[in-house]
Amino acid sequence: MEKERKSGADKWLQIVAYAITIGFIALLLYPLLYTISNSAKDNVKIYDMPPSILPDRAQSMTIIVDYSDLGSSKEQDLLDAAMRDNALAMFSIGYELPRESIFEIKFYGVKDNKIVFYSRAHKMKLELIRDFGVYQGSVVKSDVLLYGDRYVRANDTIGYEFDPNGLDNQPKMSDLSDKYTTTMSGLFSEKYDISGKLTSTGVKTKNVLLLESFVYYLQMPSNVYSQNATIAQFGFLTFIFNTVIVIGWAIITQVFLCSITAFAISRLLSPKAGRYVLLYFLGAMMIPFASIMLPQLIMYKSMGFYNNYIALLLPFLYPFGFYVYLFKGFFDRIPNDYFEAARIDGASNIFLYAKIMMPLSKPIISLIALQTFIGNWNDFFWAWMVTENQSLWTLNVALYNLSMNGNTKQNFILGLSLVMIVPVILVTVLSSKQLKQSVMSSGVKG
């Protein structure tokens, strides 16, 4: 009877433990899930009160405009009319219907029952053009949108197809709802006077457009820093490249320097001398970075190590004390029999380090590599201080500067933040088994 009571109590304890664990996991994941949701929303919907957890369904709008009334006009005149109307339609819809979650606009120009013009744009691409492109700082009005050659440059950026003999691209209006037909008719006849005749409009739900937004988030640096040739060409990859260089260099140097320092402390120095040297490295960890920040920056500037890759990479040539401590503790547990046998065969210290110590240290190397990756992926302050050239920025520095730009929308910042979070999550999940083995590993049993 007593055993049954204990068994029942243990089951209830397990249930309570699981429930509490699940609750805490949900609390920890909620900010991430909310960030994902907001990054997929339209910028206007982010500020809704009360806030919605899930984004609205994305809608795709199709617009068909007939140019048959233009008669036998020249091809260039037909193209010009279609481009003017396309610019008016693309930018007026986002401006006049900001809360309708219209994430895609397809514009078809028709003449004599043939599709002669086609253009398609995602809402985020149009936002980039409005915030940093042709229409930067402009209000959405007919005379502004069509001023000079603005509409031509806007169409070139959006992209279009034109063939007076007819295009193969055909809209499927039977699949679309005419929800906005009346609204668009009034809009184009009263406020945005188009050259052609609006024949029909339609919308349908297309939630994959929410994911497509991230493509344009990554294109944002090319638009914001278009004057920088490197960023204009490679965009967000520039910052990824810089971050990979810094992290790769940090992992290689820390693993090598910390391991060889720990080898000398563990196997070459006397126990007393080794303790003093180890104490030096551990004591250096206690010095706040804020106290050496300015002297180090001044020293680097005086040596010419400023606003270049050397300034980003040079700080990692100092062994981090905690990693030295981990390697030393691991090396101390390796049986002396290995070293005695190798020394009898005439092995040098370099051979002992390279052929015995390092192959056995894979668990510690994995742990240090992972910790170095996470720590430097999130590093910001030093890279921010020593780089002015935009093409040298790491991801965190780039994200900070983009967020400081007054034209940057919040959904773009949240989308880029999410892009930065995902690699850390993936690396942690994929290396969780190796991380567990590294933590549990305490040496080699003799």
pLDDT tens sequence across 153-183: 999 999 999 998 888 888 887 778 888 888 8
User: Superfamily for 230-440?
Assistant: MetI-like (1.10.3720.10)
**Whole-number pLDDT of residue 436:** 64
* pLDDT confidence bin for 51, thresholds 50/70/90: confident
Interatomic CA distance for residues 417 and 375, integer angstroms: 16
Interatomic CA distance for residues 29 and 8, integer angstroms: 32
Residues with Cβ within 8 Å of 376's Cβ and at least 6 positions away in sequence, in order, are 243, 246, 247, 250
Q: For residues 74-81, give the mean pLDDT.
A: 90
**Whole-number pLDDT of residue 120:** 95
* pLDDT confidence bin for 324, thresholds 50/70/90: very high
Interatomic CA distance for residues 323 and 99, integer angstroms: 53
Burial of 257 (0-12, 13-18, 19+ CB in 10 A): middle
* pLDDT confidence bin for 6, thresholds 50/70/90: low
Judged against a pLDDT cut of 60, whether residue 2 lies above it is answered with no
Closest CA to 407 of 201, 226, 208: 226
* pLDDT confidence bin for 5, thresholds 50/70/90: low
Judged against a pLDDT cut of 70, whether residue 298 lies above it is answered with yes
Q: Which residue type, as a one-letter code, is found at position 353?
A: Y
Q: What is the pTM of this model?
A: 0.84
**Whole-number pLDDT of residue 75:** 87
Judged against a pLDDT cut of 70, whether residue 435 lies above it is answered with no
**Whole-number pLDDT of residue 445:** 43
Calculate the CA 404 to chain-centre distance: 17
Contact 42, 411 (CB under 8 A): yes
How far from each other are the two terminal CA atoms of the chain, in whole angstroms?
48
For strands 102-111 and 160-162, give the pairing.
unpaired
Q: Kindly report the length of the chain.
A: 446
Judged against a pLDDT cut of 80, whether residue 107 lies above it is answered with yes
Burial of 319 (0-12, 13-18, 19+ CB in 10 A): buried
Judged against a pLDDT cut of 50, whether residue 255 lies above it is answered with yes
**Whole-number pLDDT of residue 443:** 45
pLDDT in tens, 235-246: 899 999 999 999
For strands 197-205 and 160-162, give the pairing.
unpaired
Interatomic CA distance for residues 206 and 52, integer angstroms: 19
Lookup: tokens for 85: 């109307």
* Order of strands across the sheet that contains 59-66: 160-162, 114-122, 102-111, 59-66, 197-205
* pLDDT confidence bin for 254, thresholds 50/70/90: very high
Interatomic CA distance for residues 39 and 382, integer angstroms: 28
Lookup: tokens for 157: 């950026």
| CA angle, residues 33, 37, 38, in degrees to nearest 5 | 120
